Amino acid sequence: MLRSCIFIAALIALTGSVPIQKAGKDWYKNSLVYQIYPRSYKDSNGDGIGDLNGITSKLEHIADIGADALWLSPIYTSPQVDFGYDVANFTDVNEEYGTLADFDRLVAKAKSLGLKVLLDFELNYSSDKHEWFKKSIQRIKPYDEYYVWRDAKIVNGVRRPPNNWLSNFGGSAWEWNEVRKQYFLHQFAVGQPDFNYHNADLRQEMKDVLTFWMKRGVEGFRCDALNYMYEDTRYLDEPLSNASGVPDNDYDYLDHIYTKNLPETYEVLKTWRQLMNDFSATADTKMILTEVYADLDLTIKYYTSGSTVPFNFMFISDLNNKSSAPDFKRFIDRWINNIPDDPSYVANWVVGNHDNHRAASRYGEKRADQLSILSLILPGVSVIYNGDEIGMLDRDFTYEETKDPAGCNAGPDRY
Ligand SMILES: [Ca+2]
Ligand SMILES: [Ca+2]
């Protein structure tokens, strides 16, 4: 025993550090999740696009900063209308990023460094180039009901969308399909038709996707845009939000009572938690991170539906470089005091992500480091976006350079 202690001490002295491998059911309770945006992280073959082999080459860095898990933004086959969030095949890797074999090597090396690999899960929609959508257009069973299709409303002999619902990226959320002679719903880009979660075959299909990746060693998922999963099947017009200065084709023009935060969402998430727990009863707890921008009570409720942590965006949404220490305390207490009472539930602190300005641009370079440190000192899960650990800043860009659909649709004055 003493000899092995001396050996470990000597090893630590020689190497400087040894990776601390967190394992067991409680591994996540004080953990650091490092988010990687594959396209811009590390290019390994000189084509200017980040890729899986690039990420694999940087895993030592990620382990070195103390991360326990890395969460990869979408890596699936995609025409990249919305930077990979439009998935054309949920069980393969986008060609620009590599192959499934590259992915397997990434997972193996990550495991050897004590890192768990988490994937982004685009649950609300697919690409319009997905085989399921192509078959849905053709009304081929069971795919005919995989998406949300509605007949046109004819007003004075003119074809109109079924209701007033708006896309997050601006304009109607409905797009006419000339082949099927119906409108399909897209809460985001036109190239991202929404799934119909009222359909049991579709729900099973999405569970099969989770199982496919767990079999390849994936140890959790970040559920993208989770609260857009269901729509109310009465298809009623949504009321106006009466927000000032918002144009009538802007998403914020309406109050989204029929297209967001529907209670069925929580039930589906519970089935995914069960699936992950059942996958390997003896394995470490699979992590589910849920992305929901909603009122605190609706967000917190995901804890009791299977989420390991519902993202806490207070460092992004509620606090900024003008915030005082009492402001920080108030918001930290607010989250901690609202976590449901169960030892398995822990807090979490999101420092930044790909949808927001960089931490150093929001808080200033010095305070950005303090923010990361604070997120790590506080109990629970810290979520850090790649580059924030070295204080990277935003870069200004012109409308002509803009590529994301939300920015392009907003136009030169509002991008
Ligand atoms: Ca590349
Ligand atoms: Ca939906």
Taking the C-alpha atoms of residue 300 and residue 313, their distance in angstroms, rounded to an integer, is 12
**Mean pLDDT throughout 125-137?**
98
Which residue spans within 249-295 are E strands per DSSP?
Answer: 287-290
Q: Tell how far the Cα of 42 is from the centroid of ligand 1, in angstroms.
A: 8
**Contact indicator for 323, 152 with CB cutoff of 8 Å:** no
**Contact indicator for 25, 284 with CB cutoff of 8 Å:** yes
- pLDDT, tens digit, for every residue of 231-278? 999 999 999 999 999 999 999 999 999 999 999 999 999 999 999 999
Q: What is the CA angle 240-242-156, rounded to 5?
A: 40
Q: What is the pLDDT of residue 333?
A: 97
List beta partners, residue 35: 71, 385
Q: Tell how far the Cα of 176 is from the centroid of ligand 1, in angstroms.
A: 36
- Residue 227 CA: which ligand is closest? 2
Q: What is the pLDDT of residue 6?
A: 47
Q: Tell how far the Cα of 265 is from the centroid of ligand 2, in angstroms.
A: 10
Phi-psi region of 329 (alpha: psi -120 to 50; beta: other; left: phi over 0): alpha
Q: Tell how far the Cα of 43 is from the centroid of ligand 1, in angstroms.
A: 4
321: pLDDT strictly greater than 90: yes
Q: Tell how far the Cα of 196 is from the centroid of ligand 2, in angstroms.
A: 7
Taking the C-alpha atoms of residue 316 and residue 396, their distance in angstroms, rounded to an integer, is 19
Q: What is the pLDDT of residue 407?
A: 76
Q: Tell how far the Cα of 334 is from the centroid of ligand 2, in angstroms.
A: 30
Q: What is the pLDDT of residue 20?
A: 56
Q: Tell how far the Cα of 73 is from the centroid of ligand 2, in angstroms.
A: 20
**Mean pLDDT throughout 147-163?**
97
- pLDDT, tens digit, for every residue of 51-88? 999 999 999 999 999 999 999 999 999 999 888 999 99
Which residues neighbour 362 within 8 Å (Cβ) at sequence distance 6 or greater? 316, 320, 321, 352, 356, 368
Q: What is the pLDDT of residue 21?
A: 60
Protein residues near ligand 1, an ion, with CB under 5 A: 43, 45, 47, 49, 51
**Contact indicator for 213, 76 with CB cutoff of 8 Å:** no
Q: Tell how far the Cα of 299 is from the centroid of ligand 2, in angstroms.
A: 17
Q: Tell how far the Cα of 168 is from the centroid of ligand 2, in angstroms.
A: 12
**Contact indicator for 252, 184 with CB cutoff of 8 Å:** no
Please give, one letter per residue, the 3-state secondary structure of 47-77: CCCCCHHHHHHCHHHHHHCCCCEEEECCCEE
- Residue 50 CA: which ligand is closest? 1
Report DSSP state, residue 228.
G
Q: Which residues of 395-408 are buried (b: 16+ CB within 10 A; e: fewer)?
A: eeeeeeebebbbee
Residue 336 has φ and ψ, to the nearest 5°, of -60, -40
- Residue 95 CA: which ligand is closest? 1
DSSP secondary structure string, 296-362? HHHHHGGGGGT-SEE---HHHHT--TT--HHHHHHHHHHHHHHS-S-TT---EEE---TTS--HHHH
Q: What is the pLDDT of residue 413?
A: 83
313: pLDDT strictly greater than 70: yes
Q: Tell how far the Cα of 192 is from the centroid of ligand 2, in angstroms.
A: 10
- pLDDT, tens digit, for every residue of 346-401? 999 999 999 999 999 999 988 999 999 999 999 999 999 999 999 999 988 888 88
Q: What is the pLDDT of residue 409?
A: 77
Domains and their CATH numbers in the chain: 25-121+198-229+261-414 (3.20.20.80), 126-196+231-260 (3.90.400.10)
Output the six-digit token pair for 155: 């007003």
**What is the C-alpha R_g of the chain?**
22
15: pLDDT strictly greater than 70: no
- Residue 198 CA: which ligand is closest? 2
Output the six-digit token pair for 133: 């959508």
Q: How far is CA 152 from CA 163, 168, 180, 185, 190, in A?
A: 9, 21, 11, 12, 17
Q: Tell how far the Cα of 269 is from the centroid of ligand 2, in angstroms.
A: 14
The end-to-end CA distance of the chain, in Å, is 63
**Mean pLDDT throughout 169-185?**
97
Average pLDDT, the chain: 93
Q: Tell how far the Cα of 230 is from the centroid of ligand 2, in angstroms.
A: 5
Shortest CA distance to 230 belongs to which of 167, 282, 185? 185
Residue 97 has φ and ψ, to the nearest 5°, of -95, -15
- Residue 38 CA: which ligand is closest? 1
* DSSP strand pairing (309-310 vs 182-185): unpaired
Which residues neighbour 215 within 8 Å (Cβ) at sequence distance 6 or greater? none
Q: Tell how far the Cα of 76 is from the centroid of ligand 1, in angstroms.
A: 15
- Residue 39 CA: which ligand is closest? 1
10: pLDDT strictly greater than 70: no
Output the six-digit token pair for 100: 């499934």
1: pLDDT strictly greater than 50: no
Shortest CA distance to 193 belongs to which of 37, 354, 201, 202? 202
Q: What is the pLDDT of residue 126?
A: 98
List beta partners, residue 70: 34, 117
- Residues designated as active site: 224, 291
**Mean pLDDT throughout 285-294?**
95
Place 14 in a pLDDT band, splitting at 50, 70 and 90.
very low
Q: Let me know if 342 is exposed, middle or buried by CB neighbors in 10 A (0-12, 13-18, 19+).
A: exposed
List beta partners, residue 221: 119, 288
- Residue 96 CA: which ligand is closest? 1
Q: Let me know if 164 is exposed, middle or buried by CB neighbors in 10 A (0-12, 13-18, 19+).
A: middle
306: pLDDT strictly greater than 60: yes
